[in-house]
């Protein structure tokens, strides 16, 4: 039985306490939100409702239902063979980033459109801005190097009234640019989120896709037809893989040290942490923290760093307070 199916059968207590996906998928409820999911649901060997997690169309239908039911997003789609993200894990990242911002705010979680987040590599799915805005009311800028992903993310925003005016998508024109060409000279962000390309080459990405397909129970004869399952080239790999990407991200973050409170990036391979920590020391980061996350047997983490000391953080969060309401002066109408 596939690992995703095993996870589906038990309470996901390892997820963040505020994560809406800690319980098993209620397929009856989800089908009520999105009827297209019904044709993909079947009874597994334990007589539980499930889907074939190796079927990209089924996973996409599940995501649509989850987004509609839990996040009030009625319209969501991605181009064929683009990354179809597991929503519970993506939600965890957002909730832990909220905790991180709260750590600079005496434990109080910041909400509302005064909080501005930058998503590096927003992807065709636009998933982090969707969850972050719908859960906390934050505004987002999503950067993306792939033109088709830019178009897809913009279509999602345009199709959902709740997202309009809250998320901006920017094209990254430079292959070497992460913040350069995206962040304005006087622009400030409260946090950066990033899911960096995992693999270091197309060959490695294809091998990873093959292994993922086998783990999901895919037929060996079908492997050659699904080498892009779960992400296109720009989403899956870059020269040097995630370590090189995050190290470059750290270097460029130091160049805009006072324009962001917390920089964060997912790090899939724990073996890369040592080099990432060394890069942060060289960049003179004031504070570094690693947040562990897990979903089923899969463990993940993100590394967060800031160049702001305690006093600067305290000053920064003052900007999160809403503007005080000023009462209009009363005008007395005197009858002469």
* Extents of the domains making up the chain: 80-318
> Do residues 313 and 294 touch, judged by C-beta distance below 8 A?
no
Q: pLDDT band at residue 236, thresholds of 50, 70 and 90?
A: low
pLDDT above 50: residue 205:
no
> For the chain, what is the mean pLDDT?
86
**Residues facing residue 303 across a β-bridge:** 265, 290
HSE of 272 in the Cβ direction (CA atoms, 13 Å)? 23
Instruction: Please determine, for residue 182, whether its predicted confidence score (pLDDT) is greater than 70.
Output: yes
C-beta atoms surrounding 278 within 10 Å:
12
Q: Could you give the angle at which helices 127-136 and 87-103 cross, rounded to 10 degrees? A: 50
Least confident piece of the model among 75-79, 94-98, 296-300: 296-300
| Nearest CA among 32, 31, 69 for reference residue 50 | 31
List the CATH code of the domain at 80-318: 3.40.50.150
Mean pLDDT, to the nearest integer, of 95-119?
A: 97
Least confident interval from 59-68, 160-169, 173-182, 209-218: 209-218
* Locus of tokens 């993100």: 302
pLDDT at 112 over 70: yes
> What backbone torsions phi and psi does residue 159 show, to the nearest 5 degrees?
-85, -10
Q: 121 in the Ramachandran plot: left (φ > 0), alpha (ψ -120 to 50) or beta?
A: left
């Amino acid at each position: 039985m596939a690992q995703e199916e095993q996870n589906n059968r038990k309470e996901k207590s390892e997820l963040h306490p505020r994560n809406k996906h800690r319980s098993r998928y209620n397929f009856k409820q989800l089908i009520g939100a999105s009827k297209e999911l019904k044709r993909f649901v079947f009874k597994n060997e334990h007589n539980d409702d499930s889907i074939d997690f190796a079927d990209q169309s089924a996973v996409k239908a599940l995501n649509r239902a989850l987004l509609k039911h839990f996040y009030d997003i009625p319209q969501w789609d991605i181009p064929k063979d683009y990354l179809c993200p597991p929503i519970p894990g993506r939600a965890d990242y957002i909730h832990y980033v909220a905790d991180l911002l709260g750590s600079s705010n005496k434990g109080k979680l910041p909400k509302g459109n005064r909080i501005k987040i930058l998503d590096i590599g927003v992807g065709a799915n636009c998933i982090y801005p969707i969850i972050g805005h719908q859960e906390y009311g934050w505004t987002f800028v999503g950067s993306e190097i792939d033109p088709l992903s830019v178009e897809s993310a913009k279509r999602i925003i345009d199709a959902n009234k709740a997202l309009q005016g809250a998320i901006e998508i920017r094209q990254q024109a430079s292959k070497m640019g992460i913040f350069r060409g995206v962040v304005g000279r006087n622009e400030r962000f409260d946090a950066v989120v990033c899911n960096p390309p995992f693999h270091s080459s197309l060959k490695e990405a294809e091998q990873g896709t093959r292994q993922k397909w086998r783990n999901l129970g895919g037929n060996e004869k079908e492997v050659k037809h699904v080498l892009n399952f779960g992400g296109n080239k720009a989403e899956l790999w870059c020269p040097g893989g995630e370590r090189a990407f995050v190290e470059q991200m750290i270097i460029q973050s130091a160049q805009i040290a006072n324009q962001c409170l917390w920089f964060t990036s997912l790090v899939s391979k724990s073996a890369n942490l040592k080099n990432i920590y060394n890069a942060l020391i060289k960049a003179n980061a004031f504070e570094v923290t690693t947040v562990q996350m897990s979903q089923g047997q899969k463990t993940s983490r993100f590394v967060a760093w800031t160049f702001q000391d305690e006093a600067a953080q305290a000053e920064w969060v003052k900007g999160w307070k809403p503007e005080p309401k000023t009462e209009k002066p009363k005008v007395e109408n005197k009858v002469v």
